[in-house]
Amino acid sequence: MVAEAFDLGRPIVSLVPHRFGAISEETWTLTTLSGEFVVMRLWAGPDPPWRHRLEQAMELERRAWEAGTALMRPIPPRTPAFGFAARVHGYGLFRVYERPRHRVLARSDEIAEWLGTTLARLHRLMPLAAAPSSAPEWYSFFREQEWRQWLEAGELRGLAWAPALRKRFPMIAEASAWIAEAFASAAGYVVTHRAVEPRNVWMTASGPILVDWHGSGPDSAPLEAAHAVVSVAMLDRRSPEPERVRRAVAAYVAEGGQAPPAGRAAVARYVGMRLSHVARLIRATLDVSEGNGTDSSHEEVSATQELERLPAMIEESIAWSELFR
């Protein structure tokens, strides 16, 4: 049914479940007489509640593909439901890509110039006239009062992470404030990929490609650029490497990108995402919006570990931010 919906030719074997790096959707490999394909189920029902976000993400991906951005080749369906997606009766909403032969990004891969150029070209595709009405959720724009409420609830219930949160509370409050300020003053808002990180860069015979576009949406171009440059340069490293950062930023600016911010703002996105991850773990254990009433012992342990690591993470991030001047 999938092969027919996307005109892939006659299947040779059944769908084989497969995990493709950071891609979070349910995925399979499909082999037909025409080749190998990545099959992705976006939603098991007729239409996801966030359809408008998927449409926007697929529009950016379409423009990126047409502009020559290196990514998995999307296969258009015979009868689109919207964008590159098709409905397969009784099974939900699907997408298909040509399957690339690839490996994960390694420390030895030199992609600084590719990264800067790709980001700058991507940021030209869907500019926004104004800042989005709300900041991306991963910036951890949680007010100090919200963290305090979680702390009080955790202590009341004797949750494992509560002592660690009590100890890290001043640091979290301070970091949350400068993360919010960085986004408010960043400008350069665009619809963009929003997850340009090592896990989403695959190496192929023809060079790097950028994958996992379904989280695309509004963001600050210079903040995303700084985050992407730092996260790739930090791959399997602990100490800053100025040359990798300098080359990527130079390529980004040479291609027309807005210079990333200086100082702590350069790592606001990176630190914000880590804080947001901690917040999700905490909220899950408190059964706040994301909790489901099941055993949360794993989240408790993970939240505690993340909180204990916060000082080192923030210190390391700020050391990298000093390369942006």
Q: Bridge partners of 190?
A: 127, 219
Model confidence pLDDT, tens digit, residues 10-38: 999 889 998 766 667 799 999 999 999 99
8 Å CB contact between 252 and 298: no
Q: HSE (CB half, 13 Å, CA atoms) of 203?
A: 10
Query: Which residues of the chain are under the pLDDT cut of 50?
Result: 289-291
- Supply φ then ψ for residue 104, to 5 degrees: -75, 160
Backbone φ/ψ region at 7: left (φ over 0), alpha (ψ -120 to 50), beta: left
- By CB atoms closer than 10 A (0-12, 13-18, 19+), residue 37 is buried
Nearest to 99 by CA among 192, 23, 199: 23
Model confidence pLDDT, tens digit, residues 44-60: 988 899 999 999 999 99
**CATH fold label, 2-99:** Phosphorylase Kinase; domain 1 (3.30.200)
Residue type, 70: A
8 Å CB contact between 22 and 199: yes
Q: What is the structure's pLDDT at 236?
A: 85
- By CB atoms closer than 10 A (0-12, 13-18, 19+), residue 206 is exposed
Model-level pTM?
A: 0.89
For 281-296, give one letter per residue: b (16+ CB within 10 A) or e. bbbbbbeeeeeeeeeb
Q: Which residues does 159 contact at the CB level (< 8 Å), separation at least 6?
A: 285, 286, 300
Where do the domains of the chain lie?
2-99, 112-321
Q: Bridge partners of 28?
A: 17, 39
Q: What is the structure's pLDDT at 135?
A: 63
What CATH number matches the domain at 112-321, 3.40.50, 3.90.1200, 3.40.190, 3.80.10?
Answer: 3.90.1200
Q: What is the structure's pLDDT at 245?
A: 93
